[in-house]
Structure 1
Amino acid sequence: MCVHICENELMSFIRSYVVPEGFPDSVSPSYVPYMTWRALKHFFGGAMGVFTTQALLHSVGVSKSQAMPGAVAINWIIKDGSGRIGKMLFSRQGKKFDYDLKQLRLSGDLLMELGAAVELATTAVPHLFLPLACAANVAKNVAAVTSTSTRTPIYKAFAKGENIGDVTAKGECVGNVADLLGTGFSIIMAKRNPSLFTTFALLSCGYLFSSYREVKSVVLHTLNRARFTVAVESFLKTGSVPTLQEGNMMETVFNIPWCKDGPVVLGSRFKEAFQDANSFYDVKPVFEKERYVVAYNPLKGNIYAVLKDKAKSDDILKAAFHAHVLLYVLRSAKHIQVSNEYTSGDHVTPLPRSVDLQAHVAESYNMVSALYEPFKSKAKEQGWVMSDSLLNPGRARICEQVR
């Protein structure tokens, strides 16, 4: 009886450190898989830290074997200082961290591994310790910024009610515990003098796989460009909007953050969207009642949504939806081949000039008139938050009085 009570008290003590109060009802279902993969990632990260630190210390010792300890310390300070400068410069990106949260988190982990690999490389060329160590520290500090900047939105997605602080604290505790366990494991392994590069390669694979699974397990309610594309394409093909779980699972996380992630460009400049003024005037009458203009530029193989100066939040959403509808119409026409960059990276094949673009634009307008409101309604039913803020529409606008 006493043993059973002690076990319960021990479990209660452990739970108070690693799970939020009221668990599992206080967090979303995706919390457990996320924290599991997060713990594994930190375990591998902690293990790698031992080997990379060992490599750096060995390299600075070899490259400065005849130098005074003060010179070695100066090199180490310069290495750390360059990393902090890189972190400061990268932090100015600000709002952009919200646009492609998952993509940025995964890219940050890839950058972290690149930095660790460069640190390891200092053992092969110790005389290049300072430039390599500085480059590695810049990469790792930039990666740290991405991790810090994307942490809160992810934890916010797990929290139910006003417990974001509790969720964050417990999540960080799990990460620290896993990091310490990985460090201890690596110290034990290091005493056996394993192959440095083989061990690092294995730990890196575990780290990156855990990072990928960690990011994929996050279920966000907002529609950024990638999830918006998934939702619209599914709606146009099946008439239904994917659930939060389905939409997040279908979202690709390997895109380069902030870069154009497909043949649809939202908020583009006039000269990018239209070959010449006549191209604009050809489609302008279709959008007289709208605060945007959607067009296809055959020279670039992309769909462009150009926003007018009075475009509001719903206008931006509608412009993005219309752009995807036009893409769907053009791809459905067998004699037209639009850029497949988003899905397969195929070479862009320009649209023949002889094709009647006005007819396709008019067809897309009729479809949007009939489908936009049902799309929004079904998206909201599935729990999606409809906002233009994460679509990154840019600042380019055209005057509605263009002649």
Structure 2
Amino acid sequence: MSFIRSYVVPEGFPDSVTPSYVPYMTWRALKHFFGGALGVFTTKALLSSVGVSRNGATQGAVAINWILKDGAGRVGKMLFARQGKKFDYDLKQLRFSGDLLMELGAGVELATTAVPQLFLPLACAANVLKNVAAVTSTSTRTPIYKAYARGENIGDVTAKGECVGNIADLLGTGLSILISRRNPSLVTSFAILSCGYVFSSYQEVKSVVLHTLNRARFTVAVESFLQSGNVPSLKDGNAQESIFSPPWSKNTPVVLGPKFGEAFHEPASFLAVKPLFEEERYIVTYNPSKGKIYALLKDQAKSDDILKASFHAHVLLHFIRLANGKQSLKKISDSYQLERKESSSNHAIPTNADFLDHIAESCRIVSSSYAVFKKKAADQGWIMSESLLNPGRPRLCELKEL
């Protein structure tokens, strides 16, 4: 047992890692088990397809096809690597999306058996998908292991975690080789193993407990604070984070760091809101024509200002929803558009005036509750000195008179 432990758990276990390490590694091992098993069938399908598709071609031609397939995958990996910081902002969402791409790539590889004459384009597409998934897995691996390491043992935690994954992969590969000798249905085998892989991947990602606040976890924390006055614990906050919301989705009610033209549909709106934020390094407003709340950042904004701006935006969102019977902002926006059309026939142009009271009230609430929120969040273990809210690049600059 001592010999086995030296390969699969970090030194000093369980005191050297956080409590959530065991469930994460359990699901990770299961995911690699299904992945290894699935790899046998996909490799067998590719080898069979390339052998059929060559139609008497030389071995050199077959080798070129295989090399081109791998080359396409490497190109896809390089292109996707430019996402960079997004791997930190939406780690769990990208990690799960990467695993879904991995299964999609495996499905495309199996499809080569049905149309072997299209081996090269299908194999290239599959390899691009799988290499993109590999970039996602590699890029998100270190932050996850870092969250589990206690002290300066990140190297040990990473090494043992990868060892567990490799052991599970070998076990899955061995079992799949034994099963494949009986020539089972490729479709049935793929369906069963793929379902096991995706389910394990989802549970693996859900078991990750991170201490930083990205947009999803910040939304959970603020909504809990506004409704109950309490900030959820690290475990509860991570458990409530949505994994299925893709980071590239634009259907979010709060936009952090937008362009000026997106936030204000008319100059009067900006002039009405601006005096409320003279002392702040941001401006929060609601654009009823788009049904979204915008938090614009001034050029002097620091990390805490970005956090406060996002907090303020969620407070305003809370007030508007309460005032409208907890309707979604889309319904509120649709209602506004209807009123705008009716009033335009009477030559009246509505502005943000109806929402100024909510914005002013949110300013009063934020001034008294933001420090309380930060303290309660820090007491629960959340890191408040820095955040991963992924603000946009545009900043408001003050115009100085000559």
TM-score (norm 1): 0.93
Superposed displacement of residue 350, structure 1: 5.3
For residue 206 of structure 2, what is the aligned residue in structure 1? Answer: 216
Sort the Cα spacing of 1:261 and 1:40 in 2 relative to 1 into closer, same or farther, 3 A: farther
For residue 262 of structure 1, what is the aligned residue in structure 2? Answer: 252
Q: Contact 1:268 / 1:394 at 8 angstroms: preserved in 2?
A: yes
Greater mean alpha carbon deviation, residues 261-270 or residues 242-251? 261-270
Greater mean alpha carbon deviation, residues 302-311 or residues 351-360? 351-360
For residue 361 of structure 2, what is the aligned residue in structure 1? Answer: 363
Cα distance in 1 between the residues matched to 2:177 and 2:247: 36
Any idea what the Cα deviations from partners look like across 1:293-331, whole Å, max 9, x if unmatched? 111111111100011111111111110000000000000
Q: 2:173 aligns with which of 152, 170, 183?
A: 183
Cα distance in 2 between the residues matched to 1:226 and 1:264: 11
Structure 2 residue identity aligned to 1:374: V
Greater mean alpha carbon deviation, residues 253-262 or residues 299-308? 253-262
Sort the Cα spacing of 1:402 and 1:233 in 2 relative to 1 into closer, same or farther, 3 A: farther
Q: 1:253 aligns with which of 243, 249, 256?
A: 243
Q: Which runs of 4+ in 1 moved over 4 A?
A: 352-355
TM-score (norm 2): 0.94
Q: Contact 2:257 / 2:393 at 8 angstroms: preserved in 1?
A: yes
Sort the Cα spacing of 1:350 and 1:62 in 2 relative to 1 into closer, same or farther, 3 A: farther
For residue 151 of structure 1, what is the aligned residue in structure 2? Answer: 141
For residue 192 of structure 2, what is the aligned residue in structure 1? Answer: 202
Q: Contact 1:300 / 1:350 at 8 angstroms: preserved in 2?
A: no
Superposed displacement of residue 374, structure 1: 0.2
Sort the Cα spacing of 1:276 and 1:388 in 2 relative to 1 into closer, same or farther, 3 A: farther
Q: 1:134 aligns with which of 119, 124, 128?
A: 124
Aligned pairs, number: 388
Q: Contact 2:212 / 2:386 at 8 angstroms: preserved in 1?
A: no
Cα distance in 1 between the residues matched to 2:366 and 2:40: 57
Q: Contact 2:221 / 2:231 at 8 angstroms: preserved in 1?
A: yes
Give structure 2 stretches of 5+ with no counterpart.
341-349
Give structure 1 stretches of 5+ with no counterpart.
1-10, 341-345
Cα distance in 1 between the residues matched to 2:251 and 2:215: 8
SS of the residue aligned with 1:396? coil
Q: 1:308 aligns with which of 292, 298, 308?
A: 298
Cα distance in 2 between the residues matched to 1:256 and 1:221: 20
Cα distance in 2 between the residues matched to 1:114 and 1:181: 23
For residue 349 of structure 1, what is the aligned residue in structure 2? Answer: 334
Cα distance in 1 between the residues matched to 2:204 and 2:60: 42
Alignment of 1:273-284 (within 5 A): 273-284=263-274
Alignment of 1:1-400 (within 5 A): 11-260=1-250, 262-334=252-324, 337-339=327-329, 349=334, 351=336, 356-400=354-398
Q: Contact 2:92 / 2:243 at 8 angstroms: preserved in 1?
A: yes
Cα distance in 2 between the residues matched to 1:339 and 1:58: 54
Cα distance in 2 between the residues matched to 1:265 and 1:350: 21
Cα distance in 1 between the residues matched to 2:273 and 2:59: 72
Q: Contact 2:291 / 2:332 at 8 angstroms: preserved in 1?
A: no
Any idea what the Cα deviations from partners look like across 1:175-202, whole Å, max 9, x if unmatched? 0000000000100000111110111000
Cα distance in 1 between the residues matched to 2:112 and 2:335: 47
SS of the residue aligned with 1:305? strand
Any idea what the Cα deviations from partners look like across 1:219-252, whole Å, max 9, x if unmatched? 0000000000000000000000000000000000
SS of the residue aligned with 1:356? helix
Superposed displacement of residue 336, structure 1: 7.6
- Identity, % of aligned positions: 73
SS of the residue aligned with 2:293? strand
For residue 6 of structure 1, what is the aligned residue in structure 2? Answer: none
- State the superposition RMSD in angstroms: 1.6
Q: 2:399 aligns with which of 388, 398, 401?
A: 401
Sort the Cα spacing of 1:388 and 1:394 in 2 relative to 1 into closer, same or farther, 3 A: farther
Cα distance in 1 between the residues matched to 2:398 and 2:315: 23
Greater mean alpha carbon deviation, residues 315-324 or residues 346-355? 346-355
Cα distance in 1 between the residues matched to 2:107 and 2:332: 33
Cα distance in 2 between the residues matched to 1:125 and 1:101: 36
Superposed displacement of residue 60, structure 1: 0.8
Q: Contact 1:301 / 1:350 at 8 angstroms: preserved in 2?
A: no
Superposed displacement of residue 276, structure 1: 1.4
Q: Contact 1:338 / 1:349 at 8 angstroms: preserved in 2?
A: no
Superposed displacement of residue 339, structure 1: 3.0
Q: Contact 1:317 / 1:387 at 8 angstroms: preserved in 2?
A: no
Sort the Cα spacing of 1:331 and 1:18 in 2 relative to 1 into closer, same or farther, 3 A: same
